């Protein structure tokens, strides 16, 4: 789990001013951060358009790393200060950035080339399914000195024949809210975040019927906190 931007603003948004520590993190596969850091250090995320006509992926990577194609993997590892068996080098290899395959671009930005390659190599195959994990962990301290960890978890899977989990969990709450506004079950006017009980309670209830719900656990020990 790595920090996902500044979480302090959520203390006011959620109305929990007594909170002393607020941390929002994102689960990623091991090596994700190292790979993105390598791409950043190799200027592969630059958005300035350049002429890459006729260039291979290896030549693109060499140009980005300020080196030559000969022994490119070793040179890139040295440039980054890592070894050739590191997750970042393995990821760049998996994506094909050491290959002789010709770029299908005339003029493009490094960011466009890099992101297009990631989409091509990392998109779900026909029979793949995705998974969304959401977990809230609270360390609650009470006036009598009691402590407990409260854990709220959601695990949702997509289906190859219907929708991805990320599509379900993003689109369905918004769609349900729109339906309830049209049915006048939500009568608030103006712009609201979904932190108002009149919005989130009926939406969560309907999501439960669609198989999307949080499972609550109470009275857990402090060792259940993410370290």
Q: What is the pLDDT of residue 33?
A: 92
b/e string for 127-158 if b means 16 or more Cβ within 10 A? eeebebeeeebeeeeeeeeeebbebeeeebeb
Does the pLDDT at position 227 exceed 80?
no
Which domains can be identified in the chain, with CATH numbers?
32-122 (1.10.1870.10), 127-224 (no CATH)
Per-residue pLDDT tens over the stretch 172-208? 999 999 999 999 999 999 999 999 999 999 999 999 9
Q: What is the pLDDT of residue 5?
A: 85
Distance CA 8, CA 19 (A): 10
Residue 118 is encoded by which pair of tokens? Answer: 């990631």
Per-residue pLDDT tens over the stretch 124-149? 888 899 999 999 999 999 999 999 99
Give the chain's end-to-end CA distance (angstroms, integer). Answer: 9
Does the pLDDT at position 29 exceed 90?
no
Does the pLDDT at position 226 exceed 80?
no
Q: At what angle do helices 72-80 and 87-95 cross, to 10 degrees?
A: 140
């Amino acid at each position: 789990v790595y920090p996902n931007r500044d979480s302090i603003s959520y203390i006011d948004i959620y109305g929990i001013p007594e909170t002393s520590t607020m941390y929002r993190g994102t689960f990623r596969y091991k090596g994700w951060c190292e790979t993105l850091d390598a791409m950043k250090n190799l200027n592969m995320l630059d958005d300035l358009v350049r002429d890459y006509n006729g260039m291979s992926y290896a030549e693109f990577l060499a140009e980005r790393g300020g080196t030559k194609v000969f022994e490119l993997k070793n040179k890139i590892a040295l440039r980054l200060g890592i070894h050739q068996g590191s997750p970042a080098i393995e990821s760049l290899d998996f994506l094909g950035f050491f290959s002789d395959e010709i770029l299908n671009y005339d003029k493009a930005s490094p960011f466009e080339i890099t992101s297009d390659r990631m989409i091509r190599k990392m998109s779900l195959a026909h029979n793949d399914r995705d998974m969304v994990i959401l977990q809230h962990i609270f360390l609650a301290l009470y006036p009598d000195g009691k402590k407990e960890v409260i854990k709220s978890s959601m695990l949702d899977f997509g289906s190859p024949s219907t929708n991805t989990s990320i599509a379900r969990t993003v689109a369905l709450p918004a769609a349900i809210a729109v339906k309830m506004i049209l049915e006048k079950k939500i009568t608030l006017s103006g712009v609201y975040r979904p932190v108002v009980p009149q919005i989130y309670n009926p939406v969560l209830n309907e999501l439960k019927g669609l198989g999307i719900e949080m499972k609550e656990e109470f009275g857990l020990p402090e060792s259940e906190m993410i370290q």
